[in-house]
A = this chain, B = another copy of it.
């Protein structure tokens, strides 16, 4: 399966590919040559437990998905200017998982294409350009999304003086552990969701004061790259109400967190008991195959159509992409993977929280289903981020055959978003090795 010696692969990569996409473990990158279920294998046959590839949703190279995709590839792949059953069957199936108001689908190729289309829909429907986005958010790599992705904006502003557009408004991320309003700074009776929502209302007031209105509020239903953030109860409800009162629409970005990852629900916005106006989905949808979608209301879709110009996406909704997405949904049902995420996620969360007893480095453990974040701190009172220690732990886990990574503005938050077939034994092994890594580093820093 390996065609070139690893050194040559590295050299050719350095020569022919842009350096803008860093490798995992950049000092000693992994050359992965095959994968199956929740495991990846390097060129020497070493096996790794994959705790982060949320794209390989139903397990790497799931044979049923591969087979359905291969069969359709051999039969037909063309654009949606022709009628095809896969397209409409998938559309109906996705809509069946949504609140009834969300009943029109657009198929695209990536989360970036989905979020860009969501913005176009929102702006067209509201005839406004102003976007309210969350701090540390990342919504995709195309121009329109970089503009509303503070995670990228802040880095570019630091390096290159790239300005924030006047129609982009950054609200504080409702992170009660490390955000603007922290649970440790307020009595337990204080409603932090209201404080964070008030900040959004202030932004809306500012937009109105300039004679405009918000086109939309966009947020991941749980913030991923920003640090695996779970918003306080009722925050989204309040914000959705404020935005709608001001004439805007609400976009739930489910590209990373949707498709059953939370276990209890198909979509993470359902955890918050809200109904968005536009939902975007992507990464897990094709188990690695480039397929994504936008779902919206007939009213918003009608506004878009009134532009009088067609929307055509060359590959979007082709029979192969649809066959693969349908197969992914089949496997989720047949193998009860949401149930698995719920059960194993819950067990893992408890075990990880138990690590806090003996490991002061662990400041916070939070999660739902197979979406878990572990915030590492140098000191539990100041919550100073333990960035260096997080890096050491990721390396230590790698030596034990576990692929885990870190994120957040300080790169100190361990993220856990595995394939949905991750099992109890995997959870035990992860907790055991993570515990050892924590002990090791805590002992080191005590000397």
Partner-B contacts on A (CB < 8 A): 1-4, 6, 9-10, 12-13, 15-24, 29-35, 40, 53, 55-56, 60-61, 63, 66, 69-70, 73-85, 87-89, 91-92, 95, 103-106, 109-113, 116-117, 119-120, 141-144, 146, 152, 155-156, 158-160, 162, 282-283, 287-291, 301, 304-315, 317-318, 320-321
Contacts and interface: CB of A to CB of B under 8 A. Distances in A.
Q: How many copies of this chain sit in the oligomeric assembly?
A: 2
Q: Which 8 A-B pairs have the closest CB atoms?
A: A159-B308, A77-B288, A12-B88, A16-B91, A70-B70, A143-B144, A20-B311, A31-B83
Q: Main SS of the interface on chain A?
A: mixed
A81 B34 contact: no
Contacts of A120: 143, 146
A110 B79 CA distance: 13
Contacts of A83: 6, 9-10, 13, 23, 29-32
Among A61, A104, A141, A160, the one with the most B-chain Cβ atoms within 10 Å of its Cβ is A141
Contacts of A142: 112-113, 116-117, 142-144
A156 B113 CA distance: 20
Given A109-B315, A155-B307, 14 more contacts: A9-B83, A12-B88, A17-B87, A21-B311, A53-B78, A53-B79, A55-B314, A55-B315, A61-B75, A113-B142, A159-B308, A160-B308, A283-B314, A288-B318
B9 A85 contact: yes
A251 B282 CA distance: 29
Contacts of A95: 16
A22 B83 CA distance: 11
A280 to B, nearest CB: 13
B304 A12 contact: no
Nearest to A79: B55
Contacts of A314: 55, 110-111, 282-283
A99 to B, nearest CB: 15
